[in-house]
Every structure is written in structure tokens, then in C-alpha cells.
Amino acid sequence: MRLLIVDDSNIIRRSIQREIGEGNHEIRMACDGVEALKVFEDFKPDIVTMDITMPNMDGLSCVEHILQKNAQTRILVISALADKGTAVEAVKRGAQGFLLKPFTSETLATEITELFVD
């Protein structure tokens, strides 16, 4: 599986990467929506984890762009924005799931596993 991790926080990108483990998966990272789209073009990931509040391009806009390029991409939005409307909006734009920060390694593992098996 190819996985793209998108978050402007390096510590979050690294913690997600660590949780997934390299194993049989290829992992790339991006620090904002603009970089994510560039990486997406070359890397063609199966799964994307996407932060929302980022510079240059926010995550929800990036979700839309990604799904226009490949509607089969599975996307997990990971954000600190805790109002219900944000989670609803993420799903409306095509994300398969929404994980609220701060997350424990257990909940992250559960959400990632669900993406892999969908």
C-alpha cells in the first residue's frame, strides 16, 4: 500500500509514520495541501491522512482536489477542529473518516487499519 501523510506538524507526521510502520507500505509525507498535490501526482497513494489547518492550502480543499484526480483514494482527515460541522464537512467532501486530535496510538491504529481493509 502507498500512504501519503499530510500535516504541517512534523511531530504528527512522524508519529503517524511510526504507527503505520514501514513494513510492506511505502510512505511519503507533505507539509501542506500544495505539496500534497505535487506528491500525489508522482506517488499515487492508495491512502491519505490529511490535516485541515495548514498553510498554502487547507486540508478540506486538498481532499477535493485529490478525489478529482482519483476518486478511489481513501482519505482519513486528522484534525484538532472539534466542532461536529467540520467532521461532517470532511465526509461530505469525500473523506472516509475523521480522527480528532489529540489521538492515542490505539485510536490511530484502529482508524488506519479500517482504511487498509475497506
Partner 1 sequence: MTSTHEPHTMPEDDLKVFVKGTEYFFLQVTSTRADVSTPFIREATDHVIDDFSAVIGISGSQRGCVYYSAPREMIRELVTHYGETEASDDLYADCVGEIANTISGNAREYLGPGFMISVPVVFRGRADDVRFPHDAPAFVIPITWNGHRSSLILCLKRDEKEMPTFDPEMLKEIAL
- Rounded-to-integer distance, Cα 48 and Cα 66, Å: 9
61 is an interface residue for partner 1 by CB under 8 A = no
Helix 10-20 crosses helix 105-117 at what angle (to 10 degrees)?
60
10 is an interface residue for partner 1 by CB under 8 A = yes
C-beta of 19 vs 46, nearer to partner 1: 19
Select from 15, 57, 65, 91 the one that contacts partner 1 (CB under 8 A): 15
86 is an interface residue for partner 1 by CB under 8 A = yes
For 80, list phi and psi in degrees, rounded to 5. -90, -5
Select from 14, 38, 69, 92 the one that contacts partner 1 (CB under 8 A): 14
- Rounded-to-integer distance, Cα 20 and Cα 3, Å: 9
Any residues with CB less than 8 A from the CB of 83 and at least 6 apart, and which? Answer: none
| Least separation in angstroms between CB 8 and partner 1 | 6
79 is an interface residue for partner 1 by CB under 8 A = yes
Select from 22, 23, 71, 102 the one that contacts partner 1 (CB under 8 A): 102
DSSP E strands in 41-90: the ranges are 47-50, 74-79
Per DSSP, the three-state class of 75 is strand
C-beta of 10 vs 113, nearer to partner 1: 10
Footprint of partner 1 (CB under 8 A): 8-12, 14-15, 18-19, 53-55, 79-83, 85-86, 100-105
